[in-house]
Amino acid sequence: VQRSDVNYFGAGPAPLPTVVLEKASQALLNYQDKGLGLCEISHRSPEANAILAETKQALSDLLEIPDDYDILFLQSGGSGEFSAVVYNLVAIWVEKKRAKIAEEVGDNKEEILKRLRKVVDEELKVDYLVTGCWSLKASQEAARLIGAKHVNVAADARKANDGKFGKIPSEDQWSLTPRSAGGPAFVYFCDNETVDGVEFPSFPKSLEGEDAPIVVADMSSNFISRKVDVKKYGVIFGGAQKNIGNAGITIAILKKSLLPPQSPYASPELLRELNLPVGPIVLDYPTIAKNNSLYNTLPIFDVWVAGQVMKALVNSYGAKRISSQEEISDEKANLIYGVLDKYTDVYRVVPDKSVRSRMNICFRVAGGDADKEKAFLAGAEKKGLLGLKGHRSVGGIRASNYNAVSLDGAKLLASYLEEYAKSI
């Protein structure tokens, strides 16, 4: 079987452009005629530094990232960021409170600690919009680290939807920690829920404004697929393995004001005194930023692959940047949803129309009949349409429409959907 015979719609790891893979095989053997491959050279070599700089530049060009943002490369996956945002942003929150108390009581360490304990106990909140299984997991990690009482689930999409994900509650139903009460340490949401096929149509209005909280967004499965107003976010993160590259690196776009000296972090000693967790050094944003993501060995080959994918996008779209990718993503998604909506007696799209993901198209065949869904998948496989099985936790069918899925691939899937619907 050749690559060209197959269209893969798996949710990640996902396909990469063939041209990048061809270049990658050469880079693994002999990078830039050095006689060594990219996995064999130091992450501190001039070559590695150039790769790092070029990849950052390509991402900045694509997403028009403002100068007051930093780009970090980490290795702990999207899941690692579930923890990292809590460690880092809670440390900032605590230090802010400590400094304020110190202003009031002076250098009295015991008094500061006493008051700070009370403030942490009563006021520390992190807000989560739970709209699918990944934001749920992130909120559970926050509860594991700092205690459930400090985690405010400001919206739970299952509540008004029979206990299932598939909708985003309207903003007037959210119970964000009030700004008047100092607000939360951050508000977290997952921009695209990979398993449930739910995507935020746009940036939430209630997270905007002058005294807006720090906003954290998981963009693992819709990174560089549409225009993003980066300045509305404190942290945007995503694993590379869906829309950007291969598994191995996680990218975090971080507002520089969330780093020292603008945002000092509470010391490990203070956090211990307060029974708050001290994060591992490899998740410590100030350490990673200070070291240009080279605090420890960075898999530079993975960074190179991501850079090649992004550079290819920058080159093909030029001044239009990400808007062109957004148009193509929309076109492919509309093509597939179009057929699903045409044959509603055969197919049922799982999420509500208002929040349908452009990236992970989740649907049921014949009301979720197990045999029919099996037959649907077998028929697809015969045509080289692979990776369509839904996540094991929800079942059904999921067509992931990441950047490397071609328009022709989407057309083939659409025509199979049509053919199958007519055949039963």
- For tokens 């990718």, the residue is 325
- Positions 174 through 193 that interact with ligand PLP (CB under 6 A): 190
Four-CA torsion 340, 343, 345, 350, nearest 10 degrees:
10
Structural element, H or E, at residue 253: strand 250-255
Distance, CA of 196 to CA of 374 (rounded, Å)? 20
Nearer CB in complex with ligand PLP: 70/191: 191
Q: Is residue 194 a contact point for ligand PLP (CB under 6 A)?
A: yes
Integer CA distances (angstroms), 379 to 240, 348, 390, 423, in order: 30, 18, 16, 11
Taking the complex as a whole, the smallest distance from the CB of residue 313 to ligand PLP amounts, in Å, to 20
Amino acid occupying residue 114: K
Taking the complex as a whole, the smallest distance from the CB of residue 200 to ligand PLP amounts, in Å, to 12
Q: Pick from 77, 166, 204, 396 the residue near ligand PLP by CB under 6 A.
A: 77
Taking the complex as a whole, the smallest distance from the CB of residue 364 to ligand PLP amounts, in Å, to 20
Q: Is residue 218 a contact point for ligand PLP (CB under 6 A)?
A: yes
Strands, E assignment, 98-138: 126-130
Q: Is residue 390 a contact point for ligand PLP (CB under 6 A)?
A: no
Distance, CA of 125 to CA of 269 (rounded, Å)? 21
Distance, CA of 217 to CA of 199 (rounded, Å)? 12
The size of the interface with ligand PLP (CB under 6 A), counted in residues, is 11
In the 8-state DSSP scheme, what is residue 32? G
Q: Is the peptide bond preceding residue 268 cis, with omega within 30 degrees of 0?
A: no
The encoded tokens of residue 198 equal 């739910």
Segment interacting with ligand PLP, rule: CB under 6 A, options 38-46, 103-111, 215-223, 364-372: 215-223
Integer CA distances (angstroms), 309 to 56, 59, 128, 132, 264, in order: 12, 10, 32, 28, 35
Q: Is residue 248 a contact point for ligand PLP (CB under 6 A)?
A: no
| 378 CB-side CA count, 13 A | 6
Distance, CA of 9 to CA of 5 (rounded, Å)? 13
Segment interacting with ligand PLP, rule: CB under 6 A, options 147-155, 213-221, 312-320, 402-410: 213-221
Binding mask 107-146 for ligand PLP (x = CB under 6 A): ---------------------------x------------
Taking the complex as a whole, the smallest distance from the CB of residue 223 to ligand PLP amounts, in Å, to 10
Q: Is residue 220 a contact point for ligand PLP (CB under 6 A)?
A: yes
Q: Is residue 239 a contact point for ligand PLP (CB under 6 A)?
A: yes
Taking the complex as a whole, the smallest distance from the CB of residue 404 to ligand PLP amounts, in Å, to 16
Q: Is residue 57 a contact point for ligand PLP (CB under 6 A)?
A: no
Which residues face 8 on adjacent strands?
386
Q: Is residue 83 a contact point for ligand PLP (CB under 6 A)?
A: no
Nearer CB in complex with ligand PLP: 183/248: 248
Q: Is residue 263 a contact point for ligand PLP (CB under 6 A)?
A: no
By CB under 6 A, name the binding residues for ligand PLP: 12, 77-79, 134, 190, 194, 218, 220-221, 239
